Amino acid sequence: MRIACAYAPQIALQSVLRGLAEAHEREAPIALAAGPGGRALILALNRSARAMGTVVGMTVTQARARVPGVRILQAQPADVEAAEAALQDLGLSFAPRIDAEPERVFFEVGDLGSLYADEKAVAHAIQSRATRLGLFVRVAVASSKGLARVGTRMGETVLIPEAAKAAKAMLGAAALDVLGLDEETQPALKQWGLKTVGDLARLPIPDVSLRLGGKGAQLARLANGQSDEPFLPRPPADAIEEGMDLDYSVDSLEPLSFLLQALLDRALQRLECRSLACAGLTLRLKLDPRGFDVREVPVQSPTRETSTLLQLVRLDLERRPPDRGVVGMTAMLRPARVRATQMDMFRAAGPAPERWAATVARLSALVGSEHVGIPRPVDSWREETVAVDPPPASVPTASPRDAPNGQSNMTSMLAIHRFRPPRDVEVIVGRSGPEALRGKETTARIEMAAGPYRVSGEWWAGGGFCREYWDVHASDGALYRIHKDRETSKWYLDGYYD
């Protein structure tokens, strides 16, 4: 078994940086403070702030005096939880099971040989995918969980050999700090005059265990390239959550939409790295000064597009705005797999499955989910009667009706554009049928008329009808469909042929 460990150092600072939308904002000098006020201590710094002379442990006032343009930020609990969850999603994008701890995630990579050339390529792929999630990680690959953890303290990309002797030789020159010494073992090892891992490896393991207990024995085994720490995998979470706390109250839609876009973009990046899509969205708004506004935003079909989800949320917020300002928000996305569609060799290629789902979701946001679907004929003689079934989750495939020459006979049929409801028109009728028509949008002479086609029915249901249909060619060049209601003697324009 080969275990990879992805370590995100200073994840509290990284959780703040991944929330910044622009790259130039992340490159500016930024310091993470323990709290508000000038006396709060600096907990972490990015590379720009450290290069300008800011030091961890300074107060906010001292940091601003040293670097006048430094930006002081605070890590909210929701930001840190989202970054930890994103780190776990990074592991789930490579393996079905992970073992996580603060700032680290462990997963098995021994079966990725068919996808990557070697373990170095696997480590680079992990770092590249972490960058897409807004994280910087150190990656180590070893034969056990404990050795992989040690490797992340040695450098950005460390590959520890599987053989214990080779691992011992590789760790020998490293400082003792890479073993993760605590306050009890560190003074004792320094008192013994030990400086490197190789110095500790030369001591007998039973003697170290006798003087330092179980912790000392574990450190001695790690120094010798051995580790018996178990890999305890756990299943992934049922939903993906991304949240943020705001420094001030937001009570208008435009700035709230800007913040939601960044929030949804980070959540969908986590879904995409696991080859999943969003099938449902729950938005929880934290109101000022207290209380929550929880709303369920329906998603018609699974999608990975931020614009589609943002449009759904905006429409819901416009229909029912929050009654108070928003000081925090959390988006919970329910994942679903997008089913792959097998293309047909003898049919034209249709839309991609993801495009189909995104289009259905966008149409549902514009006109309502009850108005989007697949037409279905109804057992009725009324021509305008039609039912709509819910759209399928994948691209529908229609069975072509082949003509004798091998081409579809749909090319010889006309499509009618119906007016719903039919429009009132005045029709002049002669001996041979309709001769002219006049309505709000058209007035024309009828050059040719075909009909009448009389239809009646549904008298047994208490709302019967009796109509007389005509297809007419008007002088304006259009081919219209009109009918006369024989009970009221009124004429209606049903539509036109295309």
Stretch 408-432: mean pLDDT, rounded?
79
- Residue 27 parent element (H or E): helix 23-27
In a domain, 331, yes or no: yes
Could you give the count of Cα atoms lying within 13 Å of 485 in the half-sphere of its Cβ? Answer: 15
For residues 492 and 359, membership in a common domain is answered with no
For residues 374 and 436, membership in a common domain is answered with no
**Rounded distance between C-alpha atoms, residue 125 and residue 426, angstroms:** 72
- Residue 282 parent element (H or E): strand 277-287
Stretch 259-265: mean pLDDT, rounded?
90
Q: Are 321 and 362 in contact (CB under 8 A)?
A: no
Any idea what DSSP says for residue 41?
Answer: B
In a domain, 488, yes or no: yes
**Rounded distance between C-alpha atoms, residue 415 and residue 177, angstroms:** 77
For residues 39 and 130, membership in a common domain is answered with yes
Q: Are 10 and 30 in contact (CB under 8 A)?
A: no
DSSP 233-263: -BPPPSSEEEEEEEEEEE-SHHHHHHHHHHH
DSSP 358-404: HHHHHHHHHH-GGG-SEEE--SSS-TT--EEEPPPSS-------B-T
Residue 247 has pLDDT above 50, yes or no: yes
For residues 387 and 468, membership in a common domain is answered with no
For residues 425 and 307, membership in a common domain is answered with no
Give per-residue pLDDT as tens, 355-368. 666 677 677 777 77
In a domain, 201, yes or no: no
In a domain, 253, yes or no: yes
For residues 358 and 431, membership in a common domain is answered with no
Give the pLDDT of residue 90. 92
In a domain, 167, yes or no: no
Give the pLDDT of residue 402. 45
Residue 426 has pLDDT above 90, yes or no: yes
In a domain, 371, yes or no: yes
Residue span of the structural domain in which 315 resides = 239-340+350-397
Give per-residue pLDDT as tens, 441-494. 889 999 999 989 998 888 777 778 899 999 999 999 899 999 999 889 999 999
CATH of the domain at 323: 3.30.1490.100
Q: Are 107 and 95 in contact (CB under 8 A)?
A: yes
Give the end of a domain, one of 125, 160, 195: 160
Give the pLDDT of residue 407. 47
Residue 98 has pLDDT above 80, yes or no: yes
| Sheet order of strands, 30-33 included | 42-45, 30-33, 71-73
Give per-residue pLDDT as tens, 7-63. 999 999 998 888 776 767 788 899 999 888 889 999 999 889 999 989 999 999 999
Strands, E, within 60-168: which ranges? 71-73, 99-101, 104-108, 138-142, 157-159
For residues 16 and 145, membership in a common domain is answered with yes
Give the pLDDT of residue 418. 87
Stretch 180-200: mean pLDDT, rounded?
89
Name the pLDDT band for 243 (thresholds 50, 70, 90).
confident
Mean pLDDT of the chain: 85
**Rounded distance between C-alpha atoms, residue 413 and residue 482, angstroms:** 19
In a domain, 479, yes or no: yes
Give the CA-trace dihedral at 47, 53, 55, 59, to 10 degrees: -120
For residues 34 and 140, membership in a common domain is answered with yes
Give the end of a domain, one of 160, 182, 199: 160
Residue 398 has pLDDT above 70, yes or no: no
Please tell me which residue, 411 or 147, carries the higher pLDDT value: 147
For residues 56 and 118, membership in a common domain is answered with yes
Name the pLDDT band for 245 (thresholds 50, 70, 90).
confident
Name the pLDDT band for 438 (thresholds 50, 70, 90).
very high
Stretch 256-267: mean pLDDT, rounded?
90
Give the end of a domain, one of 137, 160, 183: 160
Could you give the count of Cα atoms lying within 13 Å of 462 in the half-sphere of its Cβ? Answer: 0
Residue 104 has pLDDT above 90, yes or no: yes
For residues 474 and 390, membership in a common domain is answered with no
Q: Hey, is 89 helix, strand or coil?
A: helix
Q: Are 474 and 444 in contact (CB under 8 A)?
A: yes
In a domain, 177, yes or no: no
Alpha-helix runs per DSSP H in 141-290: 145-152, 164-171, 185-191, 197-201, 205-223, 253-273
**Rounded distance between C-alpha atoms, residue 495 and residue 415, angstroms:** 10
Count of structural domains within the chain: 3
Q: Are 334 and 279 in contact (CB under 8 A)?
A: yes
For residues 8 and 155, membership in a common domain is answered with yes
CA angle in degrees (0–180, nearest 5) for 122-126-127:
120
Name the pLDDT band for 352 (thresholds 50, 70, 90).
low
For residues 371 and 445, membership in a common domain is answered with no
**Rounded distance between C-alpha atoms, residue 105 and residue 88, angstroms:** 6
**Rounded distance between C-alpha atoms, residue 151 and residue 354, angstroms:** 40
Question: What is the DSSP pairing of strand 326-336 with strand 374-376?
Answer: unpaired
CATH of the domain at 55: 3.40.1170.60
**Rounded distance between C-alpha atoms, residue 449 and residue 430, angstroms:** 11
Give the pLDDT of residue 393. 62
Give per-residue pLDDT as tens, 266-317. 899 888 888 888 888 999 999 988 889 999 987 777 888 888 888 888 888 8
Give per-residue pLDDT as tens, 70-85. 999 888 888 888 899 9
Residue 83 one-letter amino acid:
A
